[in-house]
Structure 1
């Protein structure tokens, strides 16, 4: 007998049989097996696909291959990027697998649809967007401006940008750092116990070391904010308009609040840069800018792809190559051959 199932995660109420309902409940109970971002994406895709299925009188779960093909085509016609469409397809497949159903993605019809979508995207000039890189020179320029500032917010922002650039951590990973994660090497430089990242989840954890200057800037923020004896407090917190830190153990700064640090830095030191917008995005520094900039700086200095991947905890070389493609453009074997021949 069909059963209506509604999770606590604001999903649409689904009419499915008892076995599928039981597996979906188990899936929701085990959601901690996935990163919060993956779970949020899954919920978003489910709501989007469910609305489309309702509007077009299609089955959502299980979804037929022809229906999935039409849904993906609908996303393409709505102007969604090919990478976004691929994410929708992958998460719909994931939902079916965990519900004990055959994913519709296994059909040749869906495979052809995705190939068509990707090919059309490439032929029509779609390019994967890239955050505006926040380079070492940018960090040093801001350091000159903010390192002696009387505004506590400037000192926090500078310390945050030093840590973001030096560690190549994602914004969500930076946000959850606490004072208890801060230790020092024998020479006084700071070591951060990150614990885990999006791609590294293991009991051994992950540590990141800071340079002398970055350690100094972070130490200055810790002392000015009064965080030194607050091991459970989040390392980066709000600054009240009275120029005092709002120390908290309850929750980290939100992603928009951390993105705002990059936006403020852009207003101070990035205005003169020429930026080519991508779909009205990436008009200034954003949360991913420090990762991109640090990767490009390392590539320019001749560090290997393996070394850069280790620093940024990337698992796939393809992901990193998107960030450093312009930096490495003149390092190919053919360019090397031609330059040697012409010299």
Structure 2
């Protein structure tokens, strides 16, 4: 990297490197502008791409379009899903933009490579993975099994699943909930002040209401865990083996810990279901299952795409349609036409 065109014209290599380094330092200082998951993904992609660049004697930053093409092709050869490769390309572009560099993705050759990767993936049968849906019927089965349990962990898990299904919140959003975010409406049902989500970041915040049964289960958990007098405590916390809640005001439960609740629920109520393996994943309920199941239940009951998107805070209809495509398959205009003619 001897010289690079910048807003100041042609600068010596050392000055350009210092300027890029300064921009990247500012980028890191402002990392709170991005969700923790986006930042983790960016760091993971940087490590992967930098390692590949070193092994193949390529320049990591700035990256030439030809090098990016080869890197993306390498990912495809390594068996990465087309959606994962697209994420790598997007985050590499993001890194270049914030470093004040021209993203290599701007080259038509890179666009052609991505089109080729996507086309090959579709033609060879790749399909977007989808979490096994956790539906209302599953919640009712677990409610019957766990609502009278003497194990505090079961009561926590049941309250968590009620909230997860009722709100369609993501796991990271559920983890952030604190006791002070819970208020009671005049009719006795609970209201959750979510604050913000992955797609909604605004000062007005987001409010979610719970049904009568879900309100009861969450109230039971708060009472049994002794959280009523702990407004700053996280709503869902660890449970000690002596059947006592470990009140925590410092850090929420990790994603693996919350994923484990879905795994325990699967062992308790879901193992009889027939599940088609997808990319060696999704063999049981996972962190996204409640969102998928709730969306499918709403679609099956005739709620509009706009209503479901509002409940799940989706910004793009395409994302939601991946979850409900099987449910809505027989609601198409052509099927309706044929049925009316028969």
| Alignment TM-score, normalising by the size of structure 1 | 0.95
Distance 1:28 1:248 in 2: 29
* Number of corresponding residues: 330
Structure 1: 4+ residue segments shifted above 2 A: none
> Which secondary structure does the structure 2 equivalent of 1:164 belong to?
helix
Per-residue deviation, residues 210-268 of structure 1 (Å, max 9, x unmatched): 00000000000000000001000000000000001001101111111100000000001
Which structure 2 segments of 5+ residues have no match? 3-14
Per the alignment, residue 26 of structure 2 pairs with 26
Distance 1:85 1:61 in 2: 18
Query: Does the Cα contact within 8 Å between 1:16 and 1:61 map onto a contact in 2?
Result: no
Per the alignment, residue 8 of structure 2 pairs with none
Distance 1:321 1:32 in 2: 30
Give the C-alpha shift of residue 29 in structure 1: 0.6
Q: 2:241 matched to 1:241?
A: yes
Per the alignment, residue 106 of structure 1 pairs with 106
Per the alignment, residue 161 of structure 2 pairs with 161
Per the alignment, residue 271 of structure 1 pairs with 271
Query: Does the Cα contact within 8 Å between 1:240 and 1:246 map onto a contact in 2?
Result: yes
Q: 2:195 matched to 1:195?
A: yes
Q: 2:151 matched to 1:151?
A: yes
Per the alignment, residue 47 of structure 2 pairs with 47
Per the alignment, residue 181 of structure 1 pairs with 181
Give the C-alpha shift of residue 279 in structure 1: 1.1
Which structure 1 segments of 5+ residues have no match? 3-14
Per the alignment, residue 253 of structure 1 pairs with 253
Distance 2:205 2:301 in 1: 28
Per the alignment, residue 311 of structure 1 pairs with 311
Distance 1:330 1:254 in 2: 39
Counterparts in 2 of 1:60-209, with a 5 A limit? 60-209=60-209
Per the alignment, residue 10 of structure 1 pairs with none
Distance 2:223 2:113 in 1: 57
| Alignment TM-score, normalising by the size of structure 2 | 0.95
Per the alignment, residue 286 of structure 1 pairs with 286
> Which secondary structure does the structure 2 equivalent of 1:330 belong to?
helix
Distance 2:259 2:101 in 1: 39
Query: Does the Cα contact within 8 Å between 1:159 and 1:218 map onto a contact in 2?
Result: yes
Q: In angstroms, what is the RMSD of aligned CA positions? A: 1.1
Distance 1:32 1:243 in 2: 37
